[in-house]
Amino acid sequence: MAGQAHHFRQYAPLPIDYAIERYTREVERLYGVLERRLRDREYLAGDYSVADIACIGWIMPHEKQGQHLESFLRLKIWFDTVMARPAVIRGMAVGREQREKNDFAAISGVRGHHSP
């Protein structure tokens, strides 16, 4: 769902209001699921696990999904906690320079129609 939100909010050649609204709201709902999951635990499955690793990449570009972590306080704490882990910091450094050089929009020639 986050990928669909990214596509329709940033990369679709023509803005489709229905799709933008639908996927933005669905991502908001899913953030709510994560928020509730984190009600009584620090990490998604209790201890730090592959669940956190699998989800962090989808939460990183939250603004491009039309989301604000300030609306999801537990999720924001989780996000900050995971992003501060030494292995995550090292992992995020891998390929950073290449990602910055090769912005998807520049490669594809597609320009986003909606800013975060």
Query: What does pTM read for this prediction?
Result: 0.80
Residue 76 to residue 73: CA distance in whole angstroms: 5
pLDDT score recorded for residue 105: 45
- Both structure tokens of 48: 């730090």
Spell 11-45 as b/e; 16+ CB within 10 A means b: bbeeeeeeebeebbeebbebbeebbebbeeeebbe
Rounded to 5 degrees, φ, ψ at 111 are -110, 140
CA contacts within 13 A on the Cβ side of 58: 16
**Farthest-apart Cα atoms in the chain, separation:** 45
The per-residue pLDDT string of the chain (116 residues; one tens digit each, 9 = 90 and over) reads 988 998 999 889 999 999 999 999 999 999 999 999 999 999 999 999 999 999 999 999 999 999 999 999 999 999 999 999 999 999 888 877 777 776 654 444 544 444 44
pLDDT score recorded for residue 104: 52
